[in-house]
Amino acid sequence: MKNIIYDCDPGHDDAMALFEALAHPEEINILGISTVGGNQKLENVTKNAQHILSAAHSKIELASGQSQPLVKEFYPATNAHGDSGMDGHDFPAEDANYPISSLNAVTFLHKKIQSADDLVTIVATGPLTNIALLLKTFPEVKDSIDKIIIMGGGLDHGNITKGAEFNIWTDPEAAKIVFTSGIPMVMAGLDVTERAYFTEDELQELDKKGPISAIAYDLLSYYYKSGKQFGFKNSPVHDLCAMAYLIDPTLFTGHIYSVDVVTDDSEARGMTIADKRKLPENKNSTLVLLEVDRERYRDLFFQAIEKLDQEN
Ligand code: RIB
Ligand code: CA
């Protein structure tokens, strides 16, 4: 059983990652879910988390975290995810009744990690603001964290700028704190996530299959169309890579590097840079995922959605 906390900014692809985690209760013990401002403002991404958890009839505790990056101005990814942050499906208004912890996510995550019966893996698929503040505010928590698996960054290219990926670009200072914390990291960056897509024909398999399939079909169809503006033929489901790695690391191959984040005000701000030199002092603590077995990645997700359909 893997104890995890999931920090996210739903987000069409965050939603798919959450569905996949919820479909594996026999191996993933989700201690708590936290939200962070990113794809949309905090209020919206938290509401979207309530939608997904309500649809899956989950009882997992939810907390909302930081609305703003540590230093930078906040710019949501409205063009990619729409005004709600998860456009494309009409959810019931009563989802707003899904309980939200009275604790801020940083305190909530500290409490959950410290009370866990074993080491905890952090999965994070939004800007790393909550995680950076957790490590800075409660440094002792590092001893209870097994690793941090993120969707973020990219060694070869960016998406929000030529060189920077959105999650890291949104809060580079937070990302630097996390990457240099000494905690083992797994980075599912654009190098691998842009290979982790579903085709239009594959998406059609979700249509009219069940209640969770219907939501996944609507959201992924929206995200698929939205991806066209960025030149994607098939829209990558970025965040799903982080959760799929947790469930089955054999889907991926990669290389361990020492990765740092650019935090200056140059046009390189938010870039993730791997030091590939063989310097003895290099703390090679980040496994950068580079390849994915796309068919097995697809099958893992579709099987998860089918399982949730049967349970809901
Ligand atoms: O660059 C892709 C990332 O930005 C994903 O996490 C997506 O949800 C958005 O947050
Ligand atoms: Ca995300």
What would the mean pLDDT of 118-136 be, rounded to a whole number?
98
Q: What is the pLDDT of residue 285?
A: 92
pLDDT band per the 50, 70, 90 thresholds, residue 78: confident
What is residue 140's DSSP assignment? G
Domains and CATH numbers, the chain: 2-311 (3.90.245.10)
CA pair distance 214, 207, nearest whole angstrom: 6
Residues with CB under 6 A from ligand 1: 9, 11, 13-14, 38-39, 77, 125-126, 151, 159, 165-167, 238-239
Q: Whose CA is closest to atom 1 on ligand 1?
A: 166
Ligand 2 centroid to Cα of residue 279, in Å, is: 33
Q: Residue 28, Cα to own-chain centre: how many angstroms?
A: 16
- Closest ligand 1 atom to 125 CA: 6
62 with 100: CB under 8 angstroms?
A: yes
pTM of the model: 0.98
CA pair distance 159, 134, nearest whole angstrom: 27
Share of the chain above pLDDT 70, in %: 100
pLDDT band per the 50, 70, 90 thresholds, residue 284: confident
Give yes or no for residue 53 having a pLDDT over 90. yes
Active site residues: 238
Give yes or no for residue 208 having a pLDDT over 90. no
Which residues, chain by chain, have CB under 5 Å from ion ligand 2? 9, 11, 14, 125-126, 239
pLDDT, tens only, 222-249? 999 999 999 998 989 999 999 999 999 9
Ligand 2 centroid to Cα of residue 52, in Å, is: 14
Of the residues 6, 7, 9, which should be mutated to test ligand 1's pocket, given the most ligand atoms within 8 Å of the CB? Answer: 9
CA pair distance 142, 165, nearest whole angstrom: 26
Ligand 2 centroid to Cα of residue 116, in Å, is: 25
Q: What is the pLDDT of residue 235?
A: 84
Ligand 1 centroid to Cα of residue 12, in Å, is: 9
User: How high is the mean pLDDT of the chain?
Assistant: 96
Give yes or no for residue 218 having a pLDDT over 90. yes
Question: Among 74-78, 92-96, 138-142, which is the least confidently predicted range?
Answer: 74-78
Closest ligand to Cα 190: 1
Q: Whose CA is closest to atom 8 on ligand 1?
A: 11
pLDDT, tens only, 12-41? 999 999 999 999 999 999 999 999 999 999
18 with 260: CB under 8 angstroms?
A: no
Residue tagged 């097994």 (tokens)? 146
